[in-house]
């Protein structure tokens, strides 16, 4: 794959299917800022049955939506949108964008921007008033990407592993 920008209509954004799970897991593993796995290790890890279990759980949740970006039958990217009802701001619905990953050889071609645009359109169609995401502090290129798409770094995030 070359680094040229994709042509309109070349990429199809669609809901993920169970048969996409190993490829989705591999994309996420390739995109992890802390992973130092070989291609063989990524292939072995992405075949772990826990990914299928996780997919089934996401698919069963009416609030969670997992998507892929596909070109000529090959999954090149993935993202998840979670719809979150709330009390704040008179019940404004929020959406959280997570696990945005594009195949390393396809980065810089506009696929990520297409996925984010599709995620925003999906959220608007579902009555969302606030769209948010978080990104690992070490992913400087991802931060620049999101700022270039109009996102503001308005909050400091926190997490705890349970």
What's 12-148's CATH class? alpha beta
> 82, 100, 81: which is closest to 142 by C-alpha?
100
pLDDT in tens, 71-102: 999 999 999 999 999 999 999 999 999 999 99
Q: Domain segments of the chain: what residues?
A: 12-148
Helical axes 140-148 vs 111-125, angle rounded to 10°: 60
Tokens of 91: 């019940």
Cβ neighbors of 38 (< 8 A, separation 6 or more) are: none
User: What is the pTM for the complete model shown?
Assistant: 0.89
Comparison of pLDDT for 162 and 38, the residue scoring more: 162
- The conformational region for residue 90 under phi > 0 = left, psi -120 to 50 = alpha, else beta, is left
């Amino acid at each position: 794959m070359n680094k040229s920008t994709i042509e309109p209509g070349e990429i199809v954004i669609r809901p993920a299917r169970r048969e996409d799970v190993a490829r989705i897991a591999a994309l996420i593993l390739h995109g992890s800022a802390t992973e130092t796995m070989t291609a063989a290790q990524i292939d072995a890890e992405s075949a772990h049955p826990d990914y299928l279990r996780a997919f089934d759980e996401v698919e069963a949740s009416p609030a969670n939506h997992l998507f892929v970006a596909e070109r000529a039958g090959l999954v090149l990217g993935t993202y998840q949108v979670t719809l979150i009802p709330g009390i704040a701001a008179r019940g404004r619905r929020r959406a959280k964008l997570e696990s945005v990953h594009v195949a390393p050889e396809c980065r810089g071609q506009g696929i990520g921007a297409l996925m984010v645009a599709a995620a925003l359109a999906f959220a608007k169609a579902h009555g969302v008033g606030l769209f948010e995401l978080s990104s690992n502090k070490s992913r400087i290129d991802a931060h620049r990407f999101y700022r270039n798409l109009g996102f503001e770094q308005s909050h400091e995030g926190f997490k705890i592993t349970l």
